[in-house]
A and B are shown apart, each in its own frame.
Chain A
Amino acid sequence: SQTIHQWPATLVQPVGSPLSLECTVEGTSNPNLYWYRQAAGRGLQLLFYSVGIGQISSEVPQNLSASRPQDRQFILSSKKLLLSDSGFYLCAWSATSDQETQYFGPGTRLLVL
């Protein structure tokens, strides 16, 4: 069966520091991968999605970036964090044969101070 992992689970970072969040998927090949952000008590905002290695599409302009160095690895990064980057970051995957159904990871809670 497929599983999706995210780490770290929680992170507290000072303003201006760099960020690297990692997501990996097991049990499937060539998945579509997604990064979402969820502000406290709010809905899900799609940040990036990827249909293959090195292929990244950005949904919203921001100081975050994403990379997909391997088929089942998706990384969310920032060179300098802002206070407004605080939130719950969720990675999701979907099978290329079924681009609709997305399955979410456990999330990373980021607090920027």
Chain B
Amino acid sequence: GENVEQHPSTLSVQEGDSAVIKCTYSDSASNYFPWYKQELGKGPQLIIDIRSNVGEKKDQRIAVTLNKTAKHFSLHITETQPEDSAVYFCAAGNYGQNFVFGPGTRLSVLP
């Protein structure tokens, strides 16, 4: 089955700097890769996703890149703000199958 690893487990950045979180997956059949943001005590919220026919996707300060050959994908947050502080989860899956989530990255943006 699918296995998703995520690094780093914790990340601290200064406000205004960029943050990068990386995930690797094992199942080459996976073709959908969402990223979720979870604030304390709340459910995860989808922030961006990418499908395997696309190498990069951007939404304002957030971007995701995918390397299918190497089986890894990354979340990039530019110009970080204190409200970006949260736990971020990556996931990998295939149409008709269930996701496998990474263990999460706790991002702290220091003012």
List the interface of chain A (C-beta within 8 A of B): 34, 42-44, 46, 49, 59, 90, 92, 99-107, 109
Contacts and interface: CB of A to CB of B under 8 A. Distances in A.
Contact of B43 (A49, A99, A100, A104): A104
Contact of B99 (A46, A103, A107, A109): A46
Interface in B65-102: 89, 93, 95-96, 98-99, 101-102
A42 B103 contact: yes
Given A99-B96, A100-B95, A43 B43 contact: no
Given A99-B95, A104-B43, A44 B101 contact: yes
Contacts, number: 45
A59 B49 CA distance: 24
B45 interface: yes
A46 B103 contact: no
A90 B16 CA distance: 32
Given A43-B101, A43-B102, A100-B34, A90 B93 contact: no
Interface residues of B, number: 20
A46 B98 contact: yes
Given A43-B103, A90-B44, A106-B43, A59 B98 contact: yes
5 closest A-B pairs by CB: A104-B43, A43-B103, A100-B32, A44-B101, A107-B43
B65 to A, nearest CB: 19
22 contacts: A34-B98, A43-B89, A43-B101, A43-B102, A43-B103, A43-B104, A44-B44, A46-B99, A90-B43, A99-B96, A100-B34, A100-B49, A100-B93, A100-B95, A102-B34, A102-B99, A103-B46, A104-B44, A106-B43, A107-B41, A107-B43, A109-B41
